Structure 1
Amino acid sequence: MSYEKVLTQRTCYEGLFDTHFSMVNLDLSVPVQMLNNGTAPFKKLTRCNMGNPCGVGQKEITVVRQLIAACLSPEIRESNLIPEDVKARANVILSGCPGGNSGSYCATEGIEPIRVGVAEYITKQDGYP
């Protein structure tokens, strides 16, 4: 059976190839000013930043911050500052760490409960174990 490439310049949205990407944080004041005064060659500016989403207005994800805090601080994990489900998840993660704490070295391939969770997610999403 022969295979043909599905994603080609011919089959993709033509605007995709006019997209520009830079890992450098750019000053957006010029494109915003151009947009506001009608001189921009575009109608809308989509702010996105892979490395600093909060820097472009995305709200932080509370549960992620709570989970990190719970993994790093036994005092926070034992307090009433975070929900019980977050504490439980932190305990599962820490159970995969030698010494049961975040300061210990873990296996090179990562913390087992996290690896298992990622594998289960991929299996459920893609249908492949």
Structure 2
Amino acid sequence: MEVYAEYSHAIAALVIFTLIILFLSPFSALAKAGKGLAPGATPDQDYADKAYRLNRAYLNGAETLPAFLTVTIAAILLGASPFWVNLLASVALVARVIMLVVHLRGIGSPHSGLRSIFYVLGWACMLVLGLMALVAAF
């Protein structure tokens, strides 16, 4: 278990990201229920609607979480550089949190440059984590 201690920031980032998604889930469900939507239904695509933005923030996180978990855990298990794994996982988490704030506050338009910048930043971190895992594997 000592080997995993070197990756404590990356492991914490995974847990925090997961907790954020778990936290958003009931709020998204309540917002949709408040609009009279059936469970699993999606609000109309209206970025001015808080229920829509909350649902998108939840779904964006739920869609991204498997990739984030996969590349980060693979990098850890294959012994990629703890410094870079911790840094990239932490930056990816911060980028997702900023995206969440942008979504929930309705900052900008649905195609907001700010949201896109932080999406690409998190995506790039995950891409590099995946490449590091592959390099470590071979």
Asked if these proteins are the same fold (TM beyond 0.5), I'd say no
Shorter-chain TM-score bucket reads under 0.3
1 or 2, which has the higher helix percentage? 2
Say which structure, 1 or 2, has more relative contact order (CA 8 Å, 6+ apart): 2
Normalised to the residue count of structure 1, the TM-score between the two structures is: 0.25
Look at both structures and tell me which one has the larger radius of gyration over its CA atoms.
Answer: 1
